[in-house]
Amino acid sequence: MTLKPRTPVDIRAVAKRAGVSIATVSRAMNGITTVDAELAKRVMRAAEELNYTPNTQARALVSGRSGMIGLIVSEITNPFFPELIQSFEDSAVKRGYEILIGSTNYSAERMMQCVRRMVERMVEGVAVMTFGMDEDLVQQMVERGIPVVSIGPKNSLEGASSLQVDFRRGLHEAVQHLAVIGHRKIAFISGPLSLDSARQRQKAFQEAMSSISTPVPPQFVIEGDHTMEGGFAGAEKLLSLKEKPTAIVCSNDMTAIGVLHAVSGRGLKVPDDISIIGFDDIHMAQFTVPPLTTIRMACSDLATAALDALLHDTAEPMRKFEATRMIPTRLIVRQTSGYPRQHAVKRTKPAAKKTSARPVSAD
């Protein structure tokens, strides 16, 4: 045919070298049983010798299977997500898939680009681990027959599996823990309220506070952004309050690290002056100074559950899995939570009178 200066090591080259047809090479490489063992070996050797690597694009084009699974996360620089990615990839690789990562950076536009990318690259499923799903975008993928799993309320999306995270339990445990050791003035720094899960966590916190019959003054609830800077800023605000909290619960560990930085920066002691509780239990939580008490949400559980839902879907695309598996959370007590020194002082000097000036925290 056409003579080419460069040698494209394609399936034809292997076929030629092994003295068989390209069909046989394909079958041999894919382990199809209807090929003679002897021949298969010859093909393999030829492929080896030529250093042949199949062209995945061509394979995907014809077979309809790209061998990739999409994973959309919020941001890659928040350590929680790399841990999640790692778990997800490990599981995926084990099952013969590669992963395609997209990060939204909390931007709707980037989310759209991610989805588009996934569709274009023909991923065989996508896990939306962004903790605040974009319903219509997810719907778009579902319509194209792509299995989707996301974190969100049960059955919120027709045709997509959903994973629920038991935010309430963890937050309950955290508040209980603080209450038991004497805290009442507990503040909360949330994630960006545009996120579904941030609102959920905040609500769960307030419920937990209700359960210990302690109303939360509005200035004790601050909107953060899941970053260390946000935690720092939030803590600064809280520490400038006339009536300061004795404990700060954060909606993720990065926020807590920011808080820790702010508190220590002011020369305050943790947990003597202020207790801090994080959320996620990222690996680094064990290594902060002091080590962080936090609510663990096992990202490996999340990852494998997501993948299970996805692959269950691909296996039985007719009857959708639509799992609603619940991911547990639980408190891990380390050293940023403790008995509030300020508490004892408070009793003798009821600064509570000042609060009475404020109608909201009057009771």
For 9, the 3-state DSSP assignment is: coil
User: Taking CB within 5 to 8 Å according to partner kind, which of a second copy, DNA, none is near residue 10?
Assistant: DNA
CB 259 within 8 A of CB 239: no
The verdict on 135 binding a second copy (CB under 8 A) reads no
Told to check if 35 binds DNA by CB under 7 A, we report: yes
Q: Which option in a second copy, DNA, none does residue 159 bind, with CB closer than 5 to 8 A by kind?
A: none
The single residue among 41, 45, 48, 61 that binds DNA, judged by CB under 7 A, is 61
Q: How far is CA 286 from CA 87, 132, 168, 278, 362, in A?
A: 19, 27, 23, 11, 38
Instruction: Annotate each residue in 16-55 with x if it binds a second copy (CB under 8 A) or - if it does not, as one string.
Output: -----------------------------------x-xxx
Nearer to DNA, 25 or 115 (CB): 25
Both tokens assigned to 317: 């695309």
Binding DNA (rule: CB under 7 A), the pick from 16, 29, 219, 243 is: 29
**If contact means CB under 5 to 8 A according to the sort of partner, which of a second copy, DNA, none does residue 29 touch?**
DNA
Query: Can you read off the two tokens belonging to residue 240?
Result: 């400038």
Of the two residues 38 and 363, which places its CB atom closer to DNA in the complex? 38
Among 24, 40, 43, 66, binds a second copy (CB under 8 A): 66
* Minimum CB distance to a second copy smaller for 143 or for 363: 143
Q: Look at residue 11 and give the partner it binds from DNA, a second copy, none, a contact being a CB closer than 5 to 8 Å depending on partner kind.
A: DNA
Query: Candidates 29-37, 69-77, 167-175, 352-360 — which segment interacts with DNA by CB under 7 A?
Result: 29-37
Count of residues that bind DNA according to CB under 7 A: 30
Report the C-alpha dihedral over residues 329, 335, 336, 341, rounded to 10 degrees.
Answer: 130
- Which of 3, 62, 315, 318 is in the footprint of DNA by CB under 7 A? 62
Q: Shortest distance, CB of residue 42 to DNA, whole angstroms?
A: 9
User: Which residues contact a second copy (rule: CB under 8 A)?
Assistant: 4, 6, 51, 53-58, 60-61, 66, 76-77, 79, 81-83, 85-86, 89, 98, 100-101, 103, 116-117, 119-122, 140, 144-145, 228, 232, 257-258, 260-261, 264, 283-284, 286-291
